[in-house]
Amino acid sequence: MPLSHRVPDLVSLELLLAVARHGSLGRAARELGVSQPAASARLRAMETQVGFALVERSPRGSRLTEAGALVADWAGQVVGAAETLEAGVEALRTRRDSRLRVAASLTVAEYLMPAWLVALRVRRPDTTVSLTAGNSATVATQVLAGDTELGFVEGIRIPAGLDRVKVADDRLLVVVAEGHPWARRRSGITAAELAQAALILREEGSGTREVLHRALAPAGGLGEPLLELSSTTAVRAAALSGAGPAVLSALAVRDDLTARRLVAVPVRDTDLSRPLRAVWPTGHRPTGPARDLLTLTRST
């Protein structure tokens, strides 16, 4: 049942209680941090709302009427209950803000998340972050199950039930060791050649595998992989060993390309770019530390 329009709001009830304590509208106004004209106007509005006088004013000060004293007594209980509610809400917020659970795809976890978490530590030094790394499919499952407040994925498809926002752009690169024949192909390779090659790849469910599969679909799709590995680090190590061509995030091989440990092979007729996105349950926009982390990912 909704409250009657005759019930004053909490600010008005606090004013009435302050007048009762001080016997002065002016001192009550100062306690609440408002001007005396504003306090007087609020008091008149409250009397109009309830339908009777609450305070008698005189040169010696202000005192509650008999009816005003009764209302003040009830108001004390209401304000006390509101203070209890406020304390409880603050306690829950503090408990929520003391820990943040994040899940991220391996590329994001290894190459972007460390800087983001350092920045979050500056903003929220009392928040402990629990980070779980996995492929994009696993991250999405964890967010949908409520096991983590915020996820970061690198695939194309976002499962139903998740909202998303792009936090960075990434690009997949075909890389080989310097001794591989493709390292001397200045004009690069075609999508058809890439589709027919035995590649070192991430496992099914990874964002890297999904993007590559989508990009090569017009050329016949991915063939049987040479190696299928469950981490970016393992794929990179296999490529460095000369085992064969690999497909990795540009973030993962940046230093190797600079040092010429690996060579990037251009793919002439296909787009291997991809967005990196944050995801959360639909209709539950991140709050507290999760909101701060999301903000930091888009400003760093």
CA–CA gap between residue 187 and residue 43 (Å, rounded): 82
Instruction: For residue 5, name the pLDDT band (cuts at 50, 70, 90).
Output: confident
**Class of 10-95 per CATH?**
mainly alpha
Residue 186 has a pLDDT of: 86
Average pLDDT over residues 157-174: 94
The answer on pLDDT for 116 being more than 80 is: yes
Residue 182 has a pLDDT of: 95
CA–CA gap between residue 292 and residue 51 (Å, rounded): 47
CA–CA gap between residue 152 and residue 170 (Å, rounded): 13
Average pLDDT over residues 31-39: 92
Q: Give CA angle at 245 (241, 250), nearest 5°.
A: 95
Q: Which residues contact 34 (CB under 8 A, 6 or more apart)?
A: 42
CA–CA gap between residue 187 and residue 287 (Å, rounded): 49
Axis-axis angle for helices 25-32, 36-50 (nearest 10): 110
Helix (H, G, I), strand (E, B) or coil at 86: helix
147 or 298, greater pLDDT: 147
Residue 35 has a pLDDT of: 93
Sign for the pseudo-dihedral over CA of 147, 152, 155, 157? positive
Residue 93 has a pLDDT of: 67
Residues 231-270 pLDDT 10s: 999 999 999 999 999 999 999 999 999 999 999 999 998 9
Axis-axis angle for helices 113-123, 288-297 (nearest 10): 130
Same fold, 99-165+280-297 and 169-274: yes
Residue 263's nearest CA partner among 162, 182, 169, 168 is: 182
Q: What is the pTM of this model?
A: 0.67
The answer on pLDDT for 7 being more than 90 is: no
Residue 241 has a pLDDT of: 95
Residues 53-73 pLDDT 10s: 999 988 788 889 999 899 999
Q: Which two tokens stand for residue 69?
A: 């004293």
Instruction: For residue 94, name the pLDDT band (cuts at 50, 70, 90).
Output: low
Instruction: Determine the topology of domain 99-165+280-297 in CATH.
Output: D-Maltodextrin-Binding Protein; domain 2 (3.40.190)
Residue 95 has a pLDDT of: 57
The answer on pLDDT for 2 being more than 80 is: no
Residues in the chain: 300
pLDDT above 70 covers what percent of the chain? 95
CA–CA gap between residue 155 and residue 213 (Å, rounded): 11
Residue 191 has a pLDDT of: 93
Q: Give CA angle at 152 (89, 213), nearest 5°.
A: 155
The answer on pLDDT for 96 being more than 60 is: no
Instruction: For residue 299, name the pLDDT band (cuts at 50, 70, 90).
Output: low
Residue 300 has a pLDDT of: 58
> Is the domain defined by 169-274 classed in CATH 3.40.190.290?
yes
Residue 147 has a pLDDT of: 93
Rg (CA), the chain: 31
Mean pLDDT of all residues belonging to the chain: 90
Residue 99 has a pLDDT of: 86
CA–CA gap between residue 300 and residue 70 (Å, rounded): 58
The answer on pLDDT for 3 being more than 80 is: no
Average pLDDT over residues 180-185: 93
Domain-wise residue ranges, the chain: 10-95, 99-165+280-297, 169-274
Residue 9's nearest CA partner among 45, 63, 55, 41 is: 45
The answer on pLDDT for 195 being more than 70 is: yes
Residue 292 has a pLDDT of: 93
